[in-house]
Structure 1
Amino acid sequence: MGVGSRGCDTARAEPRMAVALAAELRTESGSTSCRLVDLSRGGACLEIDSPVLRGREIVLHRGAMQAKGVVVWLRGGRCGVRFDKPIRATDLLVQISQSRKSQPRAVSGGANSLSPSS
Structure 2
Amino acid sequence: MAKALAMIERGRRAQSRLRLRLPCRLITRSGDQKALLVDLSRTGARVHAEHLACERGDAVLRWFEMESFGQLVWARSGFCGIHFYDPVPEAWLRQSRLLNESACDFDDRQAARDMAREWVSGARRI
What TM-score do you get using the length of structure 1 for normalisation?
0.75
Matches within 5 A, 1:14-25: 14-25=15-26
Instruction: Show CA shifts across 1:46-67 (max 9, x none).
Output: 00223101x2210001111110
1:27 CA drift (Å): 1.4
Gaps of 5+ in 2: 1-10, 114-126
Gaps of 5+ in 1: 1-9, 109-118
1:29 CA drift (Å): 3.9
What SS does the corresponding residue of 1:86 show, helix, strand or coil? coil
Contact in 1 for aligned 2:26/2:62 (Cα 8 Å): yes
Contact in 1 for aligned 2:30/2:53 (Cα 8 Å): no
How far apart, CA to CA, are the structure 1 residues paired with 2:13 and 2:72? 14
Q: Corresponding residue for 2:77?
A: 76
**The one of 52, 62, 70 aligned to 2:54:** 52
Instruction: Show CA shifts across 1:15-49 (max 9, x none).
Output: 10100000001113421111001101111110022
Structure with larger RCO (C-alpha < 8 A, sep 6+) = 1
Deviating above 4 A after TM superposition, structure 1's stretches of 4 or more consecutive aligned residues are none
Higher helix share: 2
Percent identical residues: 30
Q: Corresponding residue for 2:96?
A: 95
How far apart, CA to CA, are the structure 1 residues paired with 2:76 and 2:29? 21
Give aligned pairs, total. Answer: 98
